[in-house]
Amino acid sequence: MSDGRAIAGPDGRLRCPWGLSAEDYVAYHDEEWGRPVHGDDALFERLCLEAFQSGLSWITILRRREGFRKAFSGFRIAEVARFTDADRERLLADEGIIRNRAKIDATIANAKILVDWKPGELDTLIWSYAPDPAARPAPASVTEVPAVTDESTALSKALKKRGLRFIGPTTAYALMQACGLVDDHLADCLARGAGR
């Protein structure tokens, strides 16, 4: 694990090292991370969760994901856009989520912007920044996986220009990785290419 290359799990199959760093990660790594995600509400959820993750470990968010879904009406944009000050106070008291005022406010504000977009517009915008899969070779080690790319910087700028908050280039790249816009599973990882 120290060299950042894929390592064998209990089943003997090779995985990205982070995918074996906690029990909760195995299914997320094997079945979800890096698989294409489409749909405005689904992408809104990932956008929000990546924003909440900022400054924290992803495992913290993953373990509270169901709490977030319950608290934010399944991340249905139209419903979150109707949240009131009472909802904001409810969220600030909800122990099932990360109670960060700025991130809660950004989630509600972003929904209020996105509710006026055309159906499919968020999906189309985000996916328009997916790079050519052949443009970058499969990473052999986690040291070869970037935290920010030109595409994530451009996506961040595009979303901010439209008024969205809490979506910097690093958060945008984490979104791209999680939603399959890029495949950053290591070359020897069992999940490499599974989403394509």
Catalytic machinery residues? 28, 50, 58
What is the spatial distance between Cα 72 and Cα 76, in angstroms, rounded to a whole number?
8
CA 167 – CA 79 distance, rounded (Å): 21
SS (H, E, C) 37-100: CCCHHHHHHHHHHHHHHCCCCHHHHHCCHHHHHHHCHHHCHHHHCCCCHHHHHHHHCCCCCCCC
Crossing angle, helix 150-161 and helix 169-178, to 10 degrees? 110
